[in-house]
């Protein structure tokens, strides 16, 4: 076979850009960078847990509401997300930063007041803090057992050392 024959295969045997597999079996369409499907292929919608199929663009029509926080800027981002769609979080935060800088103090004050209505976060129970008295009941029991075993072992070893020292010195007292 000549060199030119290898570079130009016959019409029916052109190289495929798909993964090597049997034709039509497990064939994957080419993908663009960033994991986006090429425009030629419409992905099949996969059912989710509640039986509803996602819309063609992959996004659900109902926007998820996030909780209000004590941070006014994060609450502003929450409202901005409800107003319009963003491609990704990077675009969202850039737009939010610019929009926040352009807000008047009165508009910012609305978000600050909204943030102050949120209760302070509940502190963890005291047994999550370090320290013997602050441990949970099971940890406290285990620590007490360990201490008693350690005390017994130290006392036994101390008695053995004392007996050996007494025997070496020759004092029978």
Give the pLDDT confidence of 111-135 residue by residue, as tens digits.
999 888 887 776 666 555 555 555 5
Residues in contact with 28: Cβ distance below 8 Å, sequence separation at least 6, in sequence order: 18, 19
| The pTM of the whole model exceeds 0.85 | no
Tell me what pLDDT residue 73 has: 93
Judged against a pLDDT cut of 60, whether residue 29 lies above it is answered with: no
* Residue pair 75/116 in contact by the 8 Å Cβ criterion: no
* Residue pair 72/108 in contact by the 8 Å Cβ criterion: yes
Sign of CA dihedral 103, 109, 110, 112: positive
For the chain, the first-to-last Cα distance in angstroms comes to 106
Element (H, E) at 165: helix 137-169
Tell me what pLDDT residue 147 has: 86
Judged against a pLDDT cut of 70, whether residue 5 lies above it is answered with: no
Lowest mean pLDDT: which of 16-25, 68-77, 83-92?
Answer: 16-25
In angstroms, how far is CA 110 from the centroid of its own chain?
31
DSSP type of residue 38: P
**Higher pLDDT pick, 48 / 59:** 59
pLDDT tens figures, 131-152 = 555 556 777 778 888 888 888 8
Judged against a pLDDT cut of 70, whether residue 168 lies above it is answered with: yes
* Residue pair 37/43 in contact by the 8 Å Cβ criterion: yes
pLDDT tier, 36 (very low <50, low <70, confident <90, very high otherwise): very low
Residue 8: helix, strand or coil by DSSP?
coil
Residues in contact with 45: Cβ distance below 8 Å, sequence separation at least 6, in sequence order: 53, 54, 56
């Amino acid at each position: 076979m000549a060199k030119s024959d290898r570079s130009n295969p016959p019409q029916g045997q052109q190289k495929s850009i798909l993964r090597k597999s049997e034709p039509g079996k497990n064939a994957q369409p080419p993908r663009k960078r960033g994991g986006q499907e090429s425009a030629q292929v419409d992905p099949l919608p996969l059912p989710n847990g509640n039986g509803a199929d996602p819309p063609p663009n992959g996004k659900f029509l109902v926007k998820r509401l996030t909780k209000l926080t004590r941070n006014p800027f994060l609450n502003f981002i929450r409202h901005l997300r409800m107003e319009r769609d963003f491609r990704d979080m990077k675009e969202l935060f850039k737009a939010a930063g610019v929009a926040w800088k352009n807000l008047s103090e009165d508009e910012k004050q609305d978000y600050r007041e909204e943030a102050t209505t949120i209760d302070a976060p509940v502190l963890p129970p005291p047994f999550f803090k370090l320290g013997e008295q602050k441990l949970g009941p099971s940890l406290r029991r285990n620590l007490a057992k360990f201490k008693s075993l350690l005390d017994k072992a130290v006392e036994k070893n101390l008695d053995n050392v004392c007996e050996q020292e007494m025997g070496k010195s020759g004092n029978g007292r």
